[in-house]
A and B are shown apart, each in its own frame.
Chain A
Amino acid sequence: MRNNRTISNRRHQKARSLVVLMSAILLAPGPVLPQRQRENRSDLSEDQRIVHLLNRIAFGARPGDIERVKAIGLRTYIEQQLSPEKISDSLAESKVKHLETLNMSTAQLYDKFPQPGQLIRELQRQGLLPQELAEVRRESGPNPNMEMQRSPAPQNAMDNEKVRRAIREYYEKNGLQPPQRIMMELQASRILRAVYSERQFQEVMVDFWTNHFNVFAGKGADRWLLTAYDRDTIRPHALGKFSDLLLATAKSPAMLFYLDNFQSVSPNMQARRGLQPRAPIFRPGAPNGRNNEMQRPQPQRARRGLNENYARELMELHTLGVDGGYTQKDVQEVARCFTGWTIIAPRGGGALQGLRGAVARQNAGTFFFNPRVHDDGEKIVLGQKIQAGGGIDDGLKVLEILANHPSTARFIATKLVVHLVADEPPAALVDRVAATYKRSGGDIREMLRTILYSAEFNSPGIYRAKIKRPFELAVSTLRTLGAETNGGPQLHRWIAQMGEPLYGFQAPTGYSDTAEIWVTTGGLLERMNFGLAIAGNRVPGTRVDLKRLVDNSESDKSETMDRLLKVILAGELSAGTRAALLKQLNDSAPSLAAPASSQMDRDTDGPRRQILRAGNVNDPVARMVGLILGSPEFQRQ
């Protein structure tokens, strides 16, 4: 985001470039590749190593991927993937091109996708509320809550319907769209890129860091802020320096809002000035002393002061880890350092007036350091003194201390190894990755090299041993079948139904990366149903052409099956599973119905269906594919 970048710190950048320079010297001859070792220790065949790699640093293989990697060699593939900026990605870009919100600024999103309740209050304040809306508002009042309720309360259904209709008409007349569209498009973009991008490792790491620096879309304004979070915060740094990523998240409005730092102000301020905290320069004022109704009533307004949420999670979850060696006192000190790190017009600038208002409106939802609410006293963080009067440098210094802390090296190394290698991370590998972190100044790419070129990564014990998370399962399903998808809402619902709604995890811990959370009765059942729905072409907006996969429908049944198994599981499964599948296939002859193409592109934001239909899967080949997709083997990567 423009503002993020202009308000940055020169000293900090200098320190960073020094680290970059040093690590460049240390790594002078290029990455050290223990090729010989790897080949000696690994019992995996070359094909298996390719499958393994595509499962872990990509979202599984598409038809033909294994051959393509084989042709260029594993090492070349890895190195290509580590430099995504050099990979042309026109297909994925063309798939997301129509998602207009992806390129909009947060201010534009606020303008075009206003919250209905907020809009109505603002129109009313300005005396511009249209008659129809004024009526319904008097009668019932639309649910003005910005917080996403887990289950919208069905109030008086009649009133609700009336309100909805009036609002819909107003939106249509004024070229506005409901805010749900924003998260719909963002989720679609995540799916489309994961499915179609050639920069697979980049997408895997975007998924990883998005979860590491989790932000919940249901928290207040965050659904307007996550588009920029994905585009400007996570993506540019997913394979860069951890310290850059950390700084980007610290300044991201999405995180500032999610963990409340945007309203954290110096506890001394009132004493110092002897008055209520004054509005930051860009804070929407209260013209003519009227209560500014544009802003949702803020419960915290009456007791603004230090908020420790961000400070605590920054250390516990983003850097040091829960046992990383900080105290409650450190939490308070860090919170003091970050006072004043806030957001311009955090809930949109719709109500802003005057010249200042116009500036703020254009910059609504961007980072802003407000020196007036910053605690400028001296602080001590993890034993290091931070001089009084540092302003924004206080927070930058904290981030530097944390990024250089050995606990951070270990914590990040552990999480990466758990994600890419095994639920039980091999200790020796974690040590080496942590050492790489220290040596390279937290260079994510270098840590990934240490992992991918390790003996542990290619050890047979971890081959197909990690349970896919639902997003990984969904995307790998589409990739393995070469499906066409628009990444639309039905897929979001399926992923949610399997247990991992995107941007839907409430707590800052993010989703678990280990099997026990994902292997549950309900979750497993929905995985099976998802495979059936996809195979049966029952997910609107997504289509598979199984005919293409088996191409000669006259072949022998077991040949058909083996071909499918080769495509989906590289032919690897137990004899027992194979026998069970064959029995299914023999129940009736394979006959390929034409895919239900009429359902393609008919996906809309229509009313939510209660049941995600898996549909009639009578076609034996579709049934077979559904069974393979739902098999234990395909749940693993």
Chain B
Amino acid sequence: MDRRFFLRSGGIALASISASLAMPSFLHRAVLAQAGVVTGSRRKTLVAIFQRGAVDGLNMVIPYAERTYYDLRPTIAIPKPTSGNPDSAIDLDGFFGLHPSLSSLKSQWDKKRLAIVHAAGSPANTRSHFDAQDYMESGTPNIKSTRDGWLNRLLQSNAQKERPLFRAVSVTQMMPRVLQGRAPALAISNLANFSVRAGQASARVQGGFEEIYEQVTTDQLGGTAKETFEAINYLKKVNPAQYRPENGAAYPRSRFGNSLLQIAQLIKAGVGLEIAFTDMGGWDTHVNQGGSRGQLSNLLQQFGAGISALATDLGNRMDDVVILTMSEFGRTVRENGNRGTDHGHANAMLVVGNSVRGGKVYGAWPGLKSDQLFEGRDLALTTDFRAVFAEVAHRHLGNKNLSSVFPGYSADGSKFCGFLGQ
């Protein structure tokens, strides 16, 4: 019998003693945890969003005060902030501006709840999507043999008595590399479909499976099955299909928007969600990237609207939530012959939350002059992505074992940017 299952069985006894509603055990524990009864603190949640394909960070967060930016991007540059021009960059601090399609995030910036780390990324110089995603997810740049992902190691190292079923959920079809590993995590692409699907016979068939799997409680299959049925039964009560966002939040009608909506649901349900993950593709804009409008603009519009809707929907709950975005590398400073950009190096990451010291672009800016560029062509790196991840892990999720989450990297506070308070 593995430890996880043992603990979970213990939890069932607790729930039945307290004789509350017919609430699943993990939920009950989660409620206790939220009330501070068990863990002594509120549950903090990290929502991690991966922009797969390498977003063009220089057009997402534009260094409009850099002349070189306009020299090197004759057709795709975003115009300097100009009042009355909806196609111009949205000024942030007199040097950087947001892409106009990210206007939905401006209010977060104004409320100092959006921080940006620019020129951040992986110290590995690979320009291969799959290598770079691999490194960003394993959290070990240049080392391929790392078996688990850094979010999973984060779960492993945060020793907790309570290990709710919905502690880590990836709202994706497959379990992403970043959450793979020993610590239990769920991959659910659609909460409403997370069920035994046998039409009218579903309940009966599920009952049959539950009885069958009760026979094998001592092994991994039995333990996993038990968790599966608990999750199904719980989600049935939550009735995800009937979810209504609050505060007028409007999620984009897309897989990405739908994923964020489901994350909001799980957070509100108080099921002990500590890490949520989802991703969005399409950022590999080699051809016809567009400027203020076009391909990248459409993607950013959806991206910003999704994050904004999540923050709006969660309202005060954003006190305990940090949204963090990442993308495997940036793109070339110079646009290519196809009005697009090729694979580059450093990139920009967004951090959103009520506890975030927002309204500021963090990280040293390396400049865009040719001698300032990495390998003569790309935005140089000034902040290792592990410093950003570690700051969130430590200051938001309270992780004290950063060396086990990021092996081979000394993630001490001196490396933190400071976008989260102590």
Question: Does B200 have its Cβ within 8 Å of any Cβ on chain A?
Answer: yes
Are the CB atoms of A297 and B340 closer together than 8 Å? yes
Chain B residues positioned under 8 Å from A630 (CB to CB): 209, 212
Chain B residues positioned under 8 Å from A583 (CB to CB): 208, 211
Chain A residue with Cβ nearest B197: A614
The smallest C-beta distance from B118 to any residue of chain A, in angstroms, reads 21
Which of B186, B188, B197, B254 has most A Cβ within 10 Å? B197
Are the CB atoms of B196 and A525 closer together than 8 Å? yes
Question: Does A425 have its Cβ within 8 Å of any Cβ on chain B?
Answer: no
Q: A576-B215, A614-B197 are in contact. Are A145 and B224 (CB under 8 A)?
A: no
Complex CA distance for A581 and B184, rounded to whole angstroms? 29
Are the CB atoms of A615 and B199 closer together than 8 Å? yes
Question: Does A173 have its Cβ within 8 Å of any Cβ on chain B?
Answer: no
Question: Does B281 have its Cβ within 8 Å of any Cβ on chain A?
Answer: yes
Chain A residues positioned under 8 Å from B375 (CB to CB): 303
Are the CB atoms of A297 and B337 closer together than 8 Å? yes
| Cβ-neighbour of B228 out of A144, A152, A525 (below 8 A) | A525
Chain B residue with Cβ nearest A138: B288
Question: Does B280 have its Cβ within 8 Å of any Cβ on chain A?
Answer: yes
Partner-binding segment picked from B17-25, B100-108, B122-130, B411-419: B122-130
Are the CB atoms of B175 and A499 closer together than 8 Å? yes
Chain B, residues 206-248, CB within 8 Å of chain A (1/0): the string is 0011011111100111101101100110000000000000000
Partner-binding segment picked from A9-17, A231-239, A516-524: A516-524
Question: Does A496 have its Cβ within 8 Å of any Cβ on chain B?
Answer: yes
Q: A496-B173, A521-B228 are in contact. Are A584 and B204 (CB under 8 A)?
A: yes
Partner-binding segment picked from A34-42, A72-80, A528-536: A528-536
Are the CB atoms of B280 and A151 closer together than 8 Å? yes
Chain A residues positioned under 8 Å from B209 (CB to CB): 528, 627, 630-631
The smallest C-beta distance from B15 to any residue of chain A, in angstroms, reads 19
Are the CB atoms of A521 and B224 closer together than 8 Å? yes
Question: Does A147 have its Cβ within 8 Å of any Cβ on chain B?
Answer: yes
Q: Secondary structure at chain A's binding surface: helix, strand, loop or mixed?
A: loop
Q: A293-B338, A309-B128 are in contact. Are A516 and B220 (CB under 8 A)?
A: yes
Are the CB atoms of A147 and B53 closer together than 8 Å? yes
The smallest C-beta distance from A537 to any residue of chain B, in angstroms, reads 13
| Cβ-neighbour of B198 out of A517, A521, A623 (below 8 A) | A623
Number of interface residues of A (CB under 8 A): 79
Which of A149, A536, A610 has most B Cβ within 10 Å? A149
| Cβ-neighbour of A584 out of B208, B214, B282, B286 (below 8 A) | B208
How many Cβ-Cβ contacts under 8 Å join chain A to chain B?
215
Question: Does A156 have its Cβ within 8 Å of any Cβ on chain B?
Answer: yes
- In residues 274-303 of chain B, which contact A (Cβ within 8 Å)? 279-284, 286-288, 294-295, 298-299, 302
The smallest C-beta distance from B244 to any residue of chain A, in angstroms, reads 21
- In residues 120-155 of chain B, which contact A (Cβ within 8 Å)? 127-131, 133-134, 144-145
Question: Does B112 have its Cβ within 8 Å of any Cβ on chain A?
Answer: no
| Cβ-neighbour of A219 out of B130, B198, B211 (below 8 A) | B130
Are the CB atoms of B286 and A216 closer together than 8 Å? no
Chain A residues positioned under 8 Å from B73 (CB to CB): none
Q: A611-B193, A616-B200 are in contact. Are A524 and B221 (CB under 8 A)?
A: yes
Chain A, residues 147-173, CB within 8 Å of chain B (1/0): the string is 101111111100000000000000000
Chain B residues positioned under 8 Å from A517 (CB to CB): 180
Q: A219-B130, A299-B342, A626-B205 are in contact. Are A574 and B215 (CB under 8 A)?
A: yes
| Cβ-neighbour of A580 out of B127, B185, B211 (below 8 A) | B211
Chain B residues positioned under 8 Å from A528 (CB to CB): 196, 209
The smallest C-beta distance from A281 to any residue of chain B, in angstroms, reads 24
Chain A residues positioned under 8 Å from B193 (CB to CB): 610-611
Chain A residues positioned under 8 Å from B131 (CB to CB): 309
Question: Does B267 have its Cβ within 8 Å of any Cβ on chain A?
Answer: no
Chain B residues positioned under 8 Å from A302 (CB to CB): 342, 377
Question: Does A100 have its Cβ within 8 Å of any Cβ on chain B?
Answer: no
Question: Does B1 have its Cβ within 8 Å of any Cβ on chain A?
Answer: no
The smallest C-beta distance from A419 to any residue of chain B, in angstroms, reads 18
Are the CB atoms of A151 and B281 closer together than 8 Å? yes
Which of A312, A521, A580, A581 has most B Cβ within 10 Å? A521
- In residues 285-340 of chain B, which contact A (Cβ within 8 Å)? 286-288, 294-295, 298-299, 302, 332, 336-338, 340
Chain B residues positioned under 8 Å from A520 (CB to CB): 175, 184-187, 224
Chain A residues positioned under 8 Å from B215 (CB to CB): 574, 576-577, 580, 632
The smallest C-beta distance from B125 to any residue of chain A, in angstroms, reads 9
Question: Does A613 have its Cβ within 8 Å of any Cβ on chain B?
Answer: yes
Are the CB atoms of A618 and B199 closer together than 8 Å? yes
Question: Does A635 have its Cβ within 8 Å of any Cβ on chain B?
Answer: yes
Are the CB atoms of A623 and B208 closer together than 8 Å? yes
Are the CB atoms of A519 and B282 closer together than 8 Å? no
Are the CB atoms of A141 and B287 closer together than 8 Å? yes
Which of B130, B134, B204, B298 has most A Cβ within 10 Å? B130
Chain B residue with Cβ nearest A467: B221
Which of B134, B186, B208 has most A Cβ within 10 Å? B208
Complex CA distance for A554 and B238, rounded to whole angstroms? 43
Chain A residues positioned under 8 Å from B222 (CB to CB): 632
Are the CB atoms of A155 and B295 closer together than 8 Å? yes
Question: Does A508 have its Cβ within 8 Å of any Cβ on chain B?
Answer: yes
Are the CB atoms of B212 and A631 closer together than 8 Å? yes
Are the CB atoms of A632 and B187 closer together than 8 Å? no
Complex CA distance for A528 and B186, rounded to whole angstroms? 16
Chain B residues positioned under 8 Å from A587 (CB to CB): 204
Are the CB atoms of B281 and A149 closer together than 8 Å? yes
Chain A residues positioned under 8 Å from B332 (CB to CB): 299
Which of A291, A313, A631 has most B Cβ within 10 Å? A631
Chain B residue with Cβ nearest A517: B180
Question: Does A19 have its Cβ within 8 Å of any Cβ on chain B?
Answer: no
Complex CA distance for A149 and B205, rounded to whole angstroms? 36
The smallest C-beta distance from A286 to any residue of chain B, in angstroms, reads 11
Question: Does B255 have its Cβ within 8 Å of any Cβ on chain A?
Answer: yes
The smallest C-beta distance from B301 to any residue of chain A, in angstroms, reads 10
Question: Does B357 have its Cβ within 8 Å of any Cβ on chain A?
Answer: no
- In residues 393-410 of chain B, which contact A (Cβ within 8 Å)? none
Complex CA distance for A627 and B208, rounded to whole angstroms? 7
Question: Does B268 have its Cβ within 8 Å of any Cβ on chain A?
Answer: no
Q: A151-B282, A519-B221 are in contact. Are A580 and B212 (CB under 8 A)?
A: yes
Question: Does B70 have its Cβ within 8 Å of any Cβ on chain A?
Answer: no
Are the CB atoms of B343 and A525 closer together than 8 Å? no
Complex CA distance for A516 and B182, rounded to whole angstroms? 8
| Cβ-neighbour of A522 out of B194, B211, B221 (below 8 A) | B194
| Cβ-neighbour of B225 out of A296, A300, A515, A524 (below 8 A) | A524
Complex CA distance for A627 and B209, rounded to whole angstroms? 7
Q: A297-B287, A297-B338, A313-B144 are in contact. Are A613 and B197 (CB under 8 A)?
A: yes
The smallest C-beta distance from B149 to any residue of chain A, in angstroms, reads 11
- A/B interface sample: 16 pairs, CB < 8 A: A149-B282, A151-B279, A151-B280, A153-B283, A312-B144, A313-B144, A322-B145, A521-B184, A525-B194, A529-B198, A532-B196, A580-B215, A584-B204, A627-B208, A632-B212, A632-B215
Counting from the closest, the 7 A-B pairs by CB-CB distance are: A153-B282, A616-B199, A141-B288, A299-B342, A580-B211, A614-B197, A299-B343
Q: Which A residues fall within an 8 A CB radius of B?
A: 117, 121, 140-141, 143-145, 147, 149-156, 216, 219, 260, 291, 293, 296-300, 302-303, 309, 312-313, 316, 322, 467, 496-497, 499, 501, 506-509, 515-517, 519-522, 524-525, 528-529, 532-533, 536, 574, 576-577, 580-581, 583-584, 587, 610-611, 613-618, 623, 626-627, 630-632, 635
Q: Which B residues fall within an 8 A CB radius of A?
A: 52-53, 127-131, 133-134, 144-145, 165, 173-175, 177, 180, 182, 184-188, 190, 193-201, 204-205, 208-209, 211-216, 219-222, 224-225, 227-228, 231-232, 254-256, 279-284, 286-288, 294-295, 298-299, 302, 332, 336-338, 340, 342-343, 375, 377
Query: 14 additional contacts, CB 8 Å, given A515-B220, A623-B204, A626-B198?
Result: A149-B52, A149-B281, A151-B280, A153-B302, A299-B127, A316-B144, A507-B177, A508-B144, A521-B228, A580-B212, A584-B205, A584-B208, A615-B198, A616-B199
